[in-house]
């Protein structure tokens, strides 16, 4: 019985460590959604799907991330646990049109 309780405690902490999944799509050189809402204090996995034919580079100095996304492909980015606030990001290859904000609440 005691071991069973320990098992559930371990399961609980394992669950807390698993990242929540979010998707960010790049289409026609725009991020969809332009504002992505994620929870504070949690590890977050963001899949960046590039539906354009041209490569993009997901970049954020706020999040300290920079990663190439080839055309018609996707990458995963892990961030957090983050404090509540707003974190800007953009496509370094199309900085004028392709930008967004990660809103952490
Ligand atoms: Cu860059």
CA 56 to centroid of ligand 1, rounded, Å = 9
Domain count, the chain: 1
CA 12 to centroid of ligand 1, rounded, Å = 38
In-domain check, residue 7: no
In-domain check, residue 33: yes
The CATH number covering residue 90 comes to: 2.60.40.420
Three-class DSSP category at 81: coil
Residue span of the structural domain in which 47 resides: 18-104
56, 79 in Cβ contact below 8 A? Answer: no
State the pTM of this model. 0.82
Which has the closest alpha carbon to 32: 104, 85, 101?
Answer: 101
Instruction: Check residue 99 and give its pLDDT.
Output: 96
In-domain check, residue 86: yes
Q: Determine how β-strand 85-91 pairs with β-strand 56-60.
A: antiparallel
CA 64 to centroid of ligand 1, rounded, Å = 11
What tens-digit pLDDT sequence spans the chain (105 residues)? Answer: 677 777 776 666 665 566 789 999 999 999 999 999 999 999 999 999 999 999 999 999 999 999 999 999 999 999 999 999 999 999 999 999 999 999 999
């Amino acid at each position: 019985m005691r071991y069973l309780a320990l098992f559930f405690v371990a399961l609980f902490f394992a669950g807390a460590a698993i990242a929540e999944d979010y998707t960010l799509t790049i289409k026609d050189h725009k991020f969809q959604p332009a504002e992505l809402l994620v929870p504070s204090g949690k590890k977050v996995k963001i899949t960046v799907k590039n539906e354009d034919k041209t490569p993009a580079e997901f970049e954020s100095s706020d999040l300290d991330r920079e990663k190439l996304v080839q055309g018609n492909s996707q990458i995963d980015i892990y961030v957090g646990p983050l404090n509540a606030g707003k974190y800007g990001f953009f496509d370094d290859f199309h900085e004028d049109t392709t930008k967004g904000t990660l809103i952490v609440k």
